[in-house]
Amino acid sequence: MPRRALLTKGLRGHGVSAQSKGPRSVTDGCTSFAGVVSSELPDGWQLRRLGELVERPQYGLTASATGEPRGPRFLRITDIQESGVAWRTVPYCECDADSGGRLRLRPGDVVIARIGATTGKAYLIRDEVDAVFASYLIRLRATDRLVPEFLAFFTNSAPYWRQIDSVKGGRLKQGINIPLLQSLEIPLPPLPEQRAIAEVLRTVQRAKEATEKVIAATRQLKASLMKHLFTYGPVPVDQVDQVTLKEMKIGAAPTHWETVRLGEKATIGNGSTRKRTDPRYWEGGLTPWLTSGKIHEGVIRHADEYVTEVARDECHLPLIPRGSLVVAITGQGKTLGNSAKLELDACVSQHLAYVSIREADLSPDFTLAFLRSRYDWLQAISRAGGSTKGALTCGLLKSLEIPKPPISEQRQIATHLSAVDAKLAAEESRRAALEVLFKSLLHHLMTGRLRVKDIGVQHEA
């Protein structure tokens, strides 16, 4: 049976799943600084100081980075991202033979940020690469009593971060140092179990990484599909040479397509935001009220906040019918210019414009797909005045020219894109479940509350 399936089977009945709530509080016994009760550790486990299990930790090199390929790569805090290290983008540095040899990285080393916003964040070196590390990093190298990957997973665990956070507090500039790292307490299983725990966690990690690759590929597919569909219509790729195109303001499109201004086919407006300090507008409210933060759901099926009839009567809060579209007309990051569809009747804030299609010859789903395909353009238009705080207007949306193919083609286009959206949603849900599963396994395995043998994974004695 594949290890991933074995894990899933073994986890059932042991209180660990994608729905697990995470660490349980410990109230009995003598709690250590790490938040782990030594008397509750399994037989054969010990609670040790990290300094006993690693070679002498080292601070990195103080040097200037250069793009010129002279000397080894020079790993800095900023080179370590959530996705890992892209070594081809890491700069070089010149260093003498002594520093170059003493501070050379090798697979199994763990480097930890010692200062700044990422203080305590660790990275396991897996690649064989000619590189040294910068002075804002501390290098840990495990002895033969500690499996490097187990150490790396420990630096993701709650016992590790409780100790780091208790020291650094809000003093980011002060950071952490070698004596502090050496004093950290770590629950230590026997070596075979360390390897097995690391393999279990790495298996879930690999599954998440594979899912992220599928998500990235699906997003690329959707972008290519939108470009094809809004240029040639719903025709196979091998038949595009049979489609006669014409140049329109929206770009090239089939000659039989029309264009209309969105305001000709839809009612467009925006809502308002009520005073939070007036309870008459909020307490006991039953009407859904949406903010721009909901836009990322794509299809909005529920509200997080509700307003009262008093709010609707006294303020500009039209009730937007289900099936309408909403567009974020202000916002930071990827919010501005994004669009979603309502699956409920709702009111909206002033940061959202609503688009209620009123003509039968224009499909809301097709219109939503077109607006999403023009996301980058909408973002650019919002910042055309040079302001860093861009905004769109209802007037601009009303005047926006959109394509209007025959309704049958609109439905085909919407169906094609909806299938890709469903695939994307399923993969994103899978990624979220794997992330929750990883965190739950990390806590339970690292504290001995769940044993690898309990989930069907054998390890050498």
Report the share of the chain in percent with pLDDT over 70.
88
Backbone angles phi, psi at 100, to 5 degrees: -60, -35
Inter-CA distances, 359 with 69, 257, 367, Å: 62, 17, 12
Tokens describing residue 402:
């959109």
Residue 31 has pLDDT above 90, yes or no: no
CATH of 1-45+192-239+408-461, one of 3.50.50.60, 1.10.10.10, 3.40.190.10, 1.10.287.1120: 1.10.287.1120
Instruction: Tell me what pLDDT residue 172 has.
Output: 53
Lowest mean pLDDT among 62-66, 409-413, 430-434: 62-66
Instruction: Tell me what pLDDT residue 45 has.
Output: 95
Q: pLDDT (tens digit, 9 = 90+) per residue, 444-458?
A: 999 999 998 888 766
Instruction: Tell me what pLDDT residue 386 has.
Output: 53
Locate the domains of the chain by residue range: 1-45+192-239+408-461, 46-188, 258-404
Q: 89 CB contacts (<8 Å, ≥6 apart)?
A: 79
Q: pLDDT (tens digit, 9 = 90+) per residue, 262-303?
A: 999 999 999 888 788 899 999 999 999 999 999 999 999 999
Instruction: Tell me what pLDDT residue 26 has.
Output: 33
Residue 134 has pLDDT above 60, yes or no: yes
Within 10 Å of residue 163's Cβ, how many Cβ atoms? 23
Do domains 1-45+192-239+408-461 and 258-404 share one topology? The answer is no
**46-188, CATH topology level:** Adenine-n6-DNA-methyltransferase TaqI; Chain A, domain 2 (3.90.220)
Instruction: Tell me what pLDDT residue 388 has.
Output: 52
Instruction: Tell me what pLDDT residue 334 has.
Output: 84
Q: pLDDT (tens digit, 9 = 90+) per residue, 345-399?
A: 999 999 999 999 999 999 999 999 999 999 999 988 887 755 556 789 999 999 9
User: For residue 307, which amino acid is it?
Assistant: V
User: For residue 405, which amino acid is it?
Assistant: P
Q: pLDDT (tens digit, 9 = 90+) per residue, 399-418?
A: 999 999 999 999 999 999 99
The residue among 234, 188, 201, 194 whose CA lies nearest residue 7 is 201
**Which residue in the block uniquely carries the two structure tokens 């909020």?**
282
Enter the CATH code of domain 258-404. 3.90.220.20
Instruction: Tell me what pLDDT residue 79 has.
Output: 94
Beta-bridge partners for 340? 326
Residue 22 has pLDDT above 70, yes or no: no
Residue 459 has pLDDT above 70, yes or no: no
pTM as predicted: 0.81
